[in-house]
Structure 1
Amino acid sequence: MAFRATLPGSNMMKWFGPAQQRLSVLSFTLIQDNVGKPNMQFDWADRVYGVFKRSTRKLKDNGYQALPNSYCTRWNTRELKFARTVIFTVEEINRDTELLPGVSLGYRLFNGCGSENLVQAAVEAVNGDDSKGCRSHIQALLGHSSSGVSEDINSILSPLSIPQVSHLSTCACLSDRRRYPSFFRTVPSDHFQIIGIVQLMKYFDWRWFGIIYANSLYSEQGTAHLIKEAKKRAYVLNTHYTIRASSSNVVLLFMSLSLTKSLLSKMDRYKITGKQWLGSEAWITQVDLASVKRKNVLQGAMGFALPQSSIPGLAEFLLNFKPADEPESAIVKAMWEMFFDCTFSSSNISTMCTGTEDLRTVSNDYTDVTQFRAENNVYKAVYLVAYALHALLQCKNGSNPTTGKPCVNKNEVEPKLVLEHIKYVNFTTQNGAKVFFDENGDSVAQYELVNWQMKEDGSVDIVNIGGKVQTKKNTTIVWGGNKNKVVRSVCREPCPPGTRKAMNKLKPVCCFDCFECPEGTISNETNSPDCLICPPEFWPNENKDKIPVLQRNHGALLTGFGCVGVFLSLLTSVIFLTHKETPIVRANNSELSFLLLFSLTLCFLCSLTFIGRPSQWSCMLRHTAFGITFVLCISCVLGKTIVVLMAFRATLPGSNMMKWFGPAQQRLSVLSFTLIQLFDGLK
Structure 2
Amino acid sequence: MDEKFTLENKLNQYLKNVHLQTKSKEDFYAANGGPVGQYDIMNWVTSKGTVTFTEIGSFFPFAPQGQQLIIKKDYIKWNHKFKQAPESICSESCPPGYRKAPQKGQPACCFDCILCSKGEFSNETDSTSCTECPEDMWANEMHDGCRDKTLEFLSFEEILGGTLAAFSIVGSLLPLSILFIFLKNADTPVVKANNRNLSYTLLVSLFFCYLCALMFIGRPITITCILRQFIFGISFVMCISCVLGKTMMVVIAFNLTQPRSSRRMWLNSRVTNTLVLVCTAIQVIICAGWLAHSSPFQYTDNKSKSGTIIVECNKGSSIAYSCTMGYMGSLAALCFVVAYLSRKLPGSFNEAKLITFSMLIFGAVWISFIPAYLSTTGKYMVAVEVFAILSSSSGLLACIFLPKVYIIILSPEMNKTKIKTTNKL
TM-score, normalisation: structure 1: 0.29
Identify which of structures 1 and 2 has the higher relative contact order when contacts are C-alpha pairs closer than 8 Å and 6+ apart.
2
TM-score, normalisation: structure 2: 0.44
**Structure with more helix by fraction:** 2
